[in-house]
Amino acid sequence: MAAQIARPARLALRTAPSLSATWRPIVHGRLGFQKNPMVQTAVRHKSGPYNYTQAKALVFSKTGEPADVLNIHTHSISPSLPPNAVLLRTLAAPINPADVNTVQGTYGAKATYSSLIGTAEPSAVPGNEGCFEVVSIGAGVTTLKPGDWALPAGSGLGTWRTHVVVDNADTALVGISKDKLEGLSPAAAATSTINPCTAWRMLRDYVDLVDLSVRSGTGAGAWFIQNGANSGVGRAAIQLGKLWGLRSINVVRARDTPEATAALRQELTDLGATVVVTEDELQQKGFSSERLRSELMGGESEKTSPLLLALNCVGGRPALGLAKCLSEGGRMVTYGAMAKQPLTIPAGMLIFRDLAFHGFWFSRWGKADPAGRRQTVEAVLDLMRQNKFKLGPADTVEWTWETPAETLQQAVGGTLEGFRSGKGIFVFKDT
């Protein structure tokens, strides 16, 4: 997907020894001052000799812990682009758990190593999501113009870098015209292509909850239940469910103090959650569908308000608890395994209750239906523009030309640790 027309900076300097002792990065381009801290301020475009773009990327040549295997690689990108390619400057790039797992070598999609950006040995650039500004385009590109923003149309682009050349840009990228940027921040756009889309497809493709709401005759929305409700996907499901008139039971892990747990409940309620319950509380209710109805669903009957969809990102015993809450004929969709424990299903759930269990991976779904993927991303972006969909808490990490590798490594390494204040997002400035 990403065709890197690149040369290590040291090679460019060798071709012009008279410049090597005196050259410094040339500052040019536009300056933009915006109030949103997640939007770039005082943007600088750096160039080297002969208009080569100076770029940096986090790379790894073997799998392992981020602190051990990630390094910064500096290289130069040629100003000559293939006809169907574009040069992009990164504005923001999330640090997703899947990205960290890819570095560790434990994710379902394995890294692809190459030497196209001039690394000493074949290396990969992590990162599946990002928001970019189009700097220049090849003669054959028809859907993008300089100044537009662009998002990856699939996984595996490698977004943890300051600049990237992308071939087959018309199909490899989702463009956002520069006249349609109002209401969007780079950080929000960068996080639009996986978590919200995952929630969207799971809520729409397994059980027709909207039709179920209409057929109930109660005037109230259909129910769904999910664990990991404060995750990126969970928050998206809450907001989308509210927009579509659905009601949700949201399971979270209790925080260290009652006050912190209460604050999280209120935060999710403000997003549109109908019910927020801790995992311990759900366990204490004995996973009983009857008790769930009497205590959390206002006593509504199975007939008028069946609970037919559960979204699971935890696995193990918590996932089994969700399954026990489902009505006959219900569906559980698993999209994560945070507990790193297998999901063990009693045969009775399959035989006597006709429950069905599905796995969902948005990357695989998008490869099978690229047009549907693009449409889903664009629908999410439209909601963001209308302020109907909000970005979750973010823990931003500024990436400037001078940012040391250790700062970036620590940001990546902390992604899977404990309760975080928000999603890690690289925000690029002065690159």
Backbone angles phi, psi at 352, to 5 degrees: -95, -25
Catalytic residue selected from 107, 113, 206, 335: 107
| Strand (E) or helix (H) holding 385 | helix 370-385
Shortest CA distance to 227 belongs to which of 342, 332, 360, 350?
Answer: 332
Report the alpha-carbon distance of residue 179 to residue 250 in Å, rounded: 38
SS3 state of residue 352: coil
Residue 172 DSSP SS3: helix
Residue spans of alpha helices (H) in 285-353: 289-296, 316-325, 347-351
Q: Across 104-236, where does the E strand assignment appear? A: 131-137, 149-152, 163-166, 173-176, 223-226
Active-site residue, 107 included: yes
Integer angstrom CA distances of residue 374 from 93, 377, 380: 19, 5, 10
| 40 vs 29: CA distance, rounded Å | 13
Torsion angle (degrees, nearest 10) of CA 381, 99, 425, 313: 70
Annotated active-site positions, please?
107
